Amino acid sequence: MTHRDTDRHIEISLVKRGVHCTAKLLDDRAPITCAAVWDALPLSGDVYHAKYARNEIYALFPPFAHTEPPLENPTVTPIPGDLCYFAFEGMELGTKAYGYDTEVKSGATVVDLALFYERNNLLLNGDVGWVPGIVWGQVTEGLDTMAEACNDLWRSGALGETLSFRRI
């Protein structure tokens, strides 16, 4: 059995646009986060395009891990193809500036699964400062096509679009 045989892969898609890419889980660098995400799949939700981080799309989910993963394999400068995991306390996302159409309550945890599709990202938020993310996956196929769709999402809007993560 080769190392490749033990790698786990997922598909990330923008459902309405019919676009997807494939990512390898970074089990060797973020084993606790990878296990939590893998066990929760499939996941899908309304997609958002980041305001602060730059070239990022993401979806928000209720917590799905037994306990939130520690900050393993952290970054504040994600590169193209990075999949990042963030856990926010509700009030960290409570300002209307983020554009969420549902109320985020104090004490509630929200999980953000993000895909970074282009260079020059910096996880610095004007409200809270540095926001390190856990890099738990890396896109291995289809990033160019996904990046085109993400740019379209930025220009055309995200309303009605779904970001989906599933095992393959």
pLDDT tens-place string over residues 28-49? 999 999 999 999 999 999 999 9
Comparing 1 with 95, the larger pLDDT belongs to: 95
Is 0.75 surpassed by the pTM of this model? Answer: yes
Q: Are 71 and 99 a contacting pair, CB within 8 Å?
A: no
What are the angstrom distances between the C-alpha of 95 and each of 36, 54, 133? 28, 19, 20
E-strand ranges in 47-128 read 48-49, 56-61, 74-75, 82-89, 109-116, 124-125
CA angle 32/37/41 to nearest 5° reads 150
Mean pLDDT of the chain: 90
What is the DSSP pairing of strand 19-25 with strand 109-116? unpaired
- Residue 65 burial (CB < 10 Å; 0-12/13-18/19+)? middle
Q: Where are the alpha helices (DSSP H) in the chain?
A: 3-6, 31-40, 143-156
Quickly state the pLDDT bin for 89 (edges 50, 70, 90).
confident
- Residue 154 burial (CB < 10 Å; 0-12/13-18/19+)? middle
Please check the confidence at residue 63 and state whether its pLDDT lies above 90. Answer: yes
Q: What is the pLDDT of residue 6?
A: 84
Q: What domains are defined for the chain?
A: 3-167 (2.40.100.20)
